[in-house]
Amino acid sequence: MQRPITIDARPGNSLEISPTDLSGVEIYRFPWIREIRGDLTVGELGQANFPFQPKRYFIVFGVPPDVSRGEHAHKRCHQFLICVQGRCNAMVDDGTTRREFVLDNPSVGLYLPPMIWGTQHSYSKNAALLVLASEAYDPDDYIRDYDAFRSAVRAKAR
């Protein structure tokens, strides 16, 4: 497996969006303002800062270092991952390409469109992963079996 990709975070006053080689997966670098009083990063909901209007959020924290989270894809739901404290790795897979990203800066977000398999792991002791979701929780939206996910991707490509 390839080494995890560390996303370079850098102070700046504007949003930067970079594509990846995975279908629809993008890296967002939000404005990161450094001041003597402390740093600040900001994204405006409902604006062009996000690829969807979030309807739900959850925060994953207190994860033991040897435990993985996620391990599923969504049929309709878009997700946006920001590690607001500490660090974790996000493995993403579009059915043909798999990449792993290190999330370790609250000014960086990883966008996962529907039909992307996602697994988060290697959480630091103090990690807190904020996930914004485009849909309310719906258990029928989840694909929890990787082989079923690959079959759905192949069927969609036909």
Is position 78 annotated as part of the catalytic site? no
Residue 155: CB atoms within 10 A of its CB come to: 8
Q: How far apart are CA 140 and CA 145, in angstroms?
A: 13
State the catalytic residue, choosing from 72, 74, 78, 121. Answer: 72
Q: How far apart are CA 28 and CA 80, in angstroms?
A: 9
Whether 132 and 60 have beta carbons less than 8 Å apart is answered as no
Give the tokens for residue 80. Answer: 């946006």
Q: How far apart are CA 144 and CA 127, in angstroms?
A: 24
- Dihedral through CA 80, CA 74, CA 114, CA 53, nearest 10? -50
Alpha helix positions (H), the chain: 146-157
Enzyme catalytic residues? 72
